[in-house]
Structure 1
Amino acid sequence: MSKTEDVEKAASVSSTSPSHSSQDNVPFIPASLTVSNLQYEITIPKPLKEGEKKPAFKKLPNIQRALLTNVAAKAMPGRVFAIMGPSGSGKTTLLDLIADRQARNVGKLQGEILLNDVPVKEYGSIRKRLIGYVTQEDDFIETLTVLETLTFAAKMRLPRSMSNADKIARVHSVMQELNLTHIKDTKVGGAVIRGISGGEKRRVTIGIELLSSPSVLLLDEPTSGLSSTDALNVANAIKDLSKKGRTVILTVHQPRSDIYELFDDLLLLSQGNVVYFGKAQSATTYFEALGHETPVGWNVADYFLDLITEHQGSEDSEHVASSSHENFAKRYTEHLSSNPQAYLTQLLQEHGVHSSEKLQRDELLARFKEEYSTEFAATTLTQIGLITQRSLTNLARHPTIFQASVVIHIIFALVVGSLFSGLQDRPEMGATSFNKSIALFFITSFLATMTFSAMPQFIIERSLFLRERAAGMYRTSSYFAAKTIVETLSYTILSVVFVVITYYLIGLKGSILYYFISVAVFVNVALSLIAAIGAGAENAEVGMNFLSLINTMAMLFSGFIVSRVDIPKGWIWAFWASYYQWAFSGLLNNEFRDAADAQKSEATLRYFGIWDLEWLTKWNAVLILLGYFVFFRVIGLLLLLAKKA
């Protein structure tokens, strides 16, 4: 059977031997990607019919909902493969399945996804380096420059056998390829810091994936949210990448006409069904044969989406008989079965001619595994070191994360110190040092509350972490270890600054070394609680609400507001569970247990109910706080491990 010119051209580009750029040592292996009869279903509660009310105290039965139904298509090297369809048609779901990143509602998958006729799953962990995935979100550390951002990714993703000089050379090669060289020293920017444009950010995101030279590049809505000029620039950059032999697959909603002209192949989806697959420029001819001619002057992409949306619903078997909608999915199936010259049929036949022999498939798989021999390119220590360095750089440069916190801590330390320095003991409290007790409680309360500011930043960085982890950059444990190092160091410095000022202004007499250690440990316990909640919370608002509840309970049962001896027996467990209590008890012991005024000190400790607790020494309190620190950190790590991208 004769083949079309386009199929022959695509086949000539698809070589199974790795190619090497003259500018770097990163191998590039052209590869086709085939989606064969893909069916994807998830389990959901049965939707209520119109006017039907949900029964009280009764769970609705579950049903299976098909997000994709018998999707078949093929993407070839050297061509831009666009996936279009109305919202909810399954575009991103298909992309997630190809990249093996279906995060939520993991369901039942049937069919196959093949890379050069080899099932993708047979490649194991190396498939993350063979298939690059550019998500819609451009998540970056806003204080880093474009060069620093790409260099970090290169050191994480490129093979250990490459020298640092070769990795930097690869970074410059990618920047040149994507026209980013002129902004290499400009900060990426974000909500606080002004940086590069939206289109440039999108190209940096693409560059991160290109560093490891993937065979297939997936892009989810690469032009969404961009100005028309930026969108066209990004689309042209994507087209240039395909011309070099890379397989490019992207989803797009409603591209402008000049962007649509850059597409080689087009897959149209409607409610998870294929309504067209073929050359992008032949789609108008196909729909004209069905009696739907594109109006003069219309953008064909807009017309296709309007047409599909208008006729959606006909795939529902309950409405087929009575619906006036045209079932485009059924018409496409008939087209495939009755037309031996259909584009998909030709592509699949061409594929069989060149790579159907098992020996050739095994040799190709062995070559891939040889090029990518380890699950992670960087060692665990290298991962921790690079993430730590990046976080410290961000701390030093960001005006609202650390720098502002230092200023705030100094200001409030001066306020607290001057406030309590002249406060006299109240006669009605008896022979107790109640003024210093108030000061110690206020110090713990203020420092714990100040850690709340870390929650929004933690949620923001979590999004970046999930994307980088999904790309196979580093282990979750490496990220968490680096974050623990940086957070512990920075908040220890803040607490020491606060203690130095308040200690001398208030006139505290206990061991200043103990104050340094105890307050630093307590602050990091509070921070570890935030890390645990932030790892599991859906968003910053939910996290802040949950944190406020726990913190308020811990403060209420700290032993200051209500003494231990006055707490009802039913609530005494909350006293022992409160991390505030251990910090406050330790500070009280440090200040009063061996004080010169024994009578006043004993009265103070008796008032707060810890005089007779001889085992509750100040250092035991620190050890217990360290236990809380480890416990919250472990919980945070486990929640991050369970978190899906």
Structure 2
Amino acid sequence: MGTRKASSTCINTTGTRLLDVASENSLLPIPVSIRCNRLSYTVRVRGAPKRILSEVSCAFAPGRTTALMGPSGSGKTTLLSTIAGHSSVHGSITGEILVNGGPPPPDFKQMACVVPQDDLLLSGLTPREALSYAAMIRLALPQPMRAARVEELLAQLGLLECSDVRVGNAETRGISGGQRKRVSLGLELITRPSVVMCDEPTSGLDSKMAEDVVELLRGLARSGITVICTIHQPSSRIFSSFNELVLLTQGHVAYAGETCGAEAAFARKGLAMPLQENVAEVFMRWLQDDAAVALILAGAAEGESDVPVTLGDTALSKGRQRYAVSRFQQFQVLLRRTLKDQLKDPKKALNTCLLKCFAGTLVGVVWFRQAGATQASIFPVQGAIFVAVFNSTMDTVLTTAMELPMTRALLQREYRNGWYALPPYQMATIVVHCLLATWNSLCLSIPIYFLVGLRLDALAFLIFVSTLALLSWIGVSFGLTIGAFANDFKQAQNAVAPSLVPLILFSGYMIPYPQIPSYFRWLYDASFFQYGLAIIDINEYSSQKFNDCPPVIPASVPPTCAPYLEIAAEALCFKDGDAYLKHSHIDPADMPRNFAILGGYVLALAVISYYVTRRAVRTS
């Protein structure tokens, strides 16, 4: 096979503008250059150190597009994450990263953004809504200016025609793959960042969509933005459209410089380019060939010294706040966005409520009118109460346990790119799920309460509903905590039952308190189920008189023996509700205390869920 003569002459790859994100009225970003000097990144795998990046030196200039290429495992995404400051806390970094000739400023996350490979979008929002919420969080501007920026971006990204179509997901059809990529990019462009880093922006797209996305990135570079993209086996046309090229292999730099100079650099190492082959594919083949890699790494990587990168420290003299808006404003926007996404399908929300009503009606029919002024009603009514408590809590835990595993990647993207602080996000998530859980508890409790025939009193009904609502709120934070520990939603789902079964088993219903072994009594005290059951029992049985417990002392019994027979009779038949409560180790005076304990569980688990979520986001 013949080879072609390597050319060291670079040509202008700007070409015709298909999409130009810069406009005459746009606020141009601050030019930012980045240089990596002998950058290494090491992690520990099974106790042994593993070097992911090895003395990487390269540069990225404003107004230029850089392709970051290499085989799988070469360190492309790690380099991108390290530059952005997103590397794992478990890794060790040596070397230096310079931004405009100095260390990265504290507000670098507001100046640079990372667009992940996967399109991490909320499926229930439209492109206009997604960009609008991003603008509310990230732009400290009046509403008319934010709206104008959103409309400008929709037009520049070619999203006007689908601006009011839901993003969708695998279950619900929405916008196309190329449009999703542009929405994902637009979420970061809303603030006009100085550096845009994209992880495989053409992955999963057909050739036309891929070319459109790359042309969009070139338009960003023309506006003065530093554009860095990891890319995997691009077409010849896409490859040649990048100004700069960084090739990685086994964590080392194989080449760093202008794209048009790569052929000549490899030719000098004895690697000639075959005729009529895609240059990018040949480079990838060489980077996976041991003999070729040995030749490439024999000398220092060429090309990086040709890229002008130092603009001077004064370019970053304008500092920015860590966040564009206050934490309370972040909470307000995130609350609206989360609620909008959760209620994306009104029919689904209605069906959930109807299912709860059906479950409550089924329980009510099974125990229809079982409540009454008889001690014989205690056992069936306890069954209905337990089902209500269990259902309202268990369903909520199952739902929220899968929340973070499904949204973790989106949270990591937004949090690491400096959109918002974690407390407003966690608070908004908890509040939305508590609102939905309260509504579902109401749908469940109304049919149960009236069909079973529990105490007909407005205050008693309010206490019953409030108790189920509190238990469902506990389920929200409990589920979020489980989800934060889990790596995926299946693991979270599998962890729910083992976490709840001990609390249910020792709640006082399945095993009465007197029969619980002394060494398991601490589980009874720790079970939030028993406090909820105790409140409802007090609510139902306190001061209740039973009329089916007649005297069992025959007239022939001597008066001296009667007291002993009365004690035995009380053990077999409760004269009133207070006797049953005493037998069950429940004190009616403890109702306020039990409410306070349930409230304490809500707050404590909310705090725990926050810290566990923070750990999950920072260490993943």
TM range (shorter): 0.7 to 0.9
TM-superposed CA distance for 1:470, in Å, is 1.0
**Larger displacement relative to structure 2 (378-387 or 530-539):** 530-539
Does structure 1 residue 626 correspond to structure 2 residue 577? no
Does structure 1 residue 440 correspond to structure 2 residue 385? yes
1:39-93 CA-partner distances (Å, limit 9, x unpaired): 2222333xxxxxxxxxxxxxxxx43322111211111222210111111101011
Q: 2:102 aligns with which of 118, 124, 144?
A: 118
SS of the equivalent of 1:377 reads coil
Alignment of 1:150-169 (within 5 A): 150-158=131-139, 160=140, 162-169=141-148
Provide the residue aligned with 1:35 in structure 2. 36
1:142 counterpart letter in structure 2: S
Q: Distance in 1 between matches of 2:24 and 2:326?
A: 27
Q: Distance in 2 between matches of 1:29 and 1:5?
A: 30
1:129-178 CA-partner distances (Å, limit 9, x unpaired): 211111112122211110010011111112x2x21111111112222222
Does structure 1 residue 227 correspond to structure 2 residue 206? yes
SS of the equivalent of 2:276 reads coil
SS of the equivalent of 1:508 reads coil
SS of the equivalent of 1:111 reads strand
| Change in CA separation of 1:465 and 1:606 when aligned onto 2, cut-off 3 Å | farther
Q: 2:76 aligns with which of 58, 75, 91?
A: 91
SS of the equivalent of 2:537 reads helix
Provide the residue aligned with 1:641 in structure 2. 614
Provide the residue aligned with 1:408 in structure 2. 355
Alignment of 1:147-186 (within 5 A): 147-158=128-139, 160=140, 162-186=141-165
Provide the residue aligned with 2:294 in structure 1. 327
Contact kept, 8 Å, 2:368 with 2:452, in 1: the verdict is yes
TM-superposed CA distance for 1:344, in Å, is 2.1
Provide the residue aligned with 1:364 in structure 2. 315
Provide the residue aligned with 2:48 in structure 1. 63
Contact kept, 8 Å, 1:219 with 1:250, in 2: the verdict is yes
Provide the residue aligned with 1:48 in structure 2. none
Q: Distance in 1 between matches of 2:386 and 2:282?
A: 67
1:72 counterpart letter in structure 2: S
| Change in CA separation of 1:400 and 1:303 when aligned onto 2, cut-off 3 Å | farther
| Change in CA separation of 1:182 and 1:610 when aligned onto 2, cut-off 3 Å | farther
Contact kept, 8 Å, 1:274 with 1:329, in 2: the verdict is no
SS of the equivalent of 1:190 reads coil
SS of the equivalent of 2:288 reads helix
Contact kept, 8 Å, 1:455 with 1:540, in 2: the verdict is yes
SS of the equivalent of 1:119 reads coil
Provide the residue aligned with 2:534 in structure 1. 585
Does structure 1 residue 571 correspond to structure 2 residue 544? no
TM-superposed CA distance for 1:409, in Å, is 0.4
Does structure 1 residue 81 correspond to structure 2 residue 54? no
Q: TM-score, normalised by structure 1?
A: 0.84
Q: Distance in 2 between matches of 1:455 and 1:380?
A: 25
Q: Distance in 1 between matches of 2:585 and 2:516?
A: 16
Provide the residue aligned with 2:118 in structure 1. 137
Q: Distance in 1 between matches of 2:601 and 2:217?
A: 50
TM-superposed CA distance for 1:376, in Å, is 0.6
Q: Distance in 2 between matches of 1:286 and 1:22?
A: 39
Q: 1:450 aligns with which of 372, 389, 395?
A: 395
Contact kept, 8 Å, 1:441 with 1:584, in 2: the verdict is yes
Contact kept, 8 Å, 1:602 with 1:611, in 2: the verdict is no
1:224-244 CA-partner distances (Å, limit 9, x unpaired): 122333222212211222222
Q: 1:285 aligns with which of 243, 247, 264?
A: 264
Alignment of 1:514-553 (within 5 A): 514-553=463-502
CA RMSD across the alignment: 2.7
Does structure 1 residue 379 correspond to structure 2 residue 292? no
Alignment of 1:268-283 (within 5 A): 268-283=247-262
Provide the residue aligned with 1:346 in structure 2. 306
TM-superposed CA distance for 1:503, in Å, is 1.0
Alignment of 1:187-206 (within 5 A): 187-206=166-185
Contact kept, 8 Å, 2:13 with 2:242, in 1: the verdict is no
Provide the residue aligned with 2:25 in structure 1. 23
Q: Distance in 2 between matches of 1:242 and 1:131?
A: 13
SS of the equivalent of 2:343 reads helix
| Change in CA separation of 1:542 and 1:616 when aligned onto 2, cut-off 3 Å | farther
Q: 1:295 aligns with which of 274, 285, 293?
A: 274
Contact kept, 8 Å, 1:495 with 1:520, in 2: the verdict is yes
1:521 counterpart letter in structure 2: L
TM-superposed CA distance for 1:603, in Å, is 6.7
Q: TM-score, normalised by structure 2?
A: 0.87
Provide the residue aligned with 1:106 in structure 2. 91
Q: 2:544 aligns with which of 586, 595, 609?
A: 595
Q: Distance in 2 between matches of 1:176 and 1:331?
A: 49
Contact kept, 8 Å, 1:563 with 1:607, in 2: the verdict is no
| Change in CA separation of 1:463 and 1:346 when aligned onto 2, cut-off 3 Å | closer
Provide the residue aligned with 1:466 in structure 2. 412
Provide the residue aligned with 1:253 in structure 2. 232
Contact kept, 8 Å, 1:276 with 1:332, in 2: the verdict is no
TM-superposed CA distance for 1:536, in Å, is 2.6
| Change in CA separation of 1:212 and 1:580 when aligned onto 2, cut-off 3 Å | same
Q: Distance in 1 between matches of 2:596 and 2:322?
A: 38
Q: Distance in 1 between matches of 2:346 and 2:90?
A: 39
Structure 1: give runs of 5+ residues left out of the alignment.
11-18, 46-61, 312-323, 337-342
Point out which structure has higher relative CO (alpha carbons under 8 A, 6+ apart).
2
Contact kept, 8 Å, 2:22 with 2:220, in 1: the verdict is no
Contact kept, 8 Å, 1:30 with 1:77, in 2: the verdict is yes
Contact kept, 8 Å, 1:395 with 1:401, in 2: the verdict is no
TM-superposed CA distance for 1:601, in Å, is 6.1
SS of the equivalent of 2:242 reads coil
1:364-421 CA-partner distances (Å, limit 9, x unpaired): 3323x1xx2x111011121111111112222332358633321210111111111110
2:609 counterpart letter in structure 1: G
TM-superposed CA distance for 1:272, in Å, is 0.6
1:66 counterpart letter in structure 2: R
1:237-278 CA-partner distances (Å, limit 9, x unpaired): 112222222110010121122211211111111111011112
Provide the residue aligned with 1:53 in structure 2. none
Q: 1:503 aligns with which of 449, 455, 458?
A: 449
Contact kept, 8 Å, 2:39 with 2:53, in 1: the verdict is yes
Does structure 1 residue 217 correspond to structure 2 residue 168? no
TM-superposed CA distance for 1:548, in Å, is 1.1
Q: How many residues align?
A: 576
2:42 counterpart letter in structure 1: E
1:577-607 CA-partner distances (Å, limit 9, x unpaired): 1111111121111111222327676677766
Percent identical? 28
| Change in CA separation of 1:300 and 1:20 when aligned onto 2, cut-off 3 Å | closer
Q: Distance in 2 between matches of 1:396 and 1:602?
A: 50
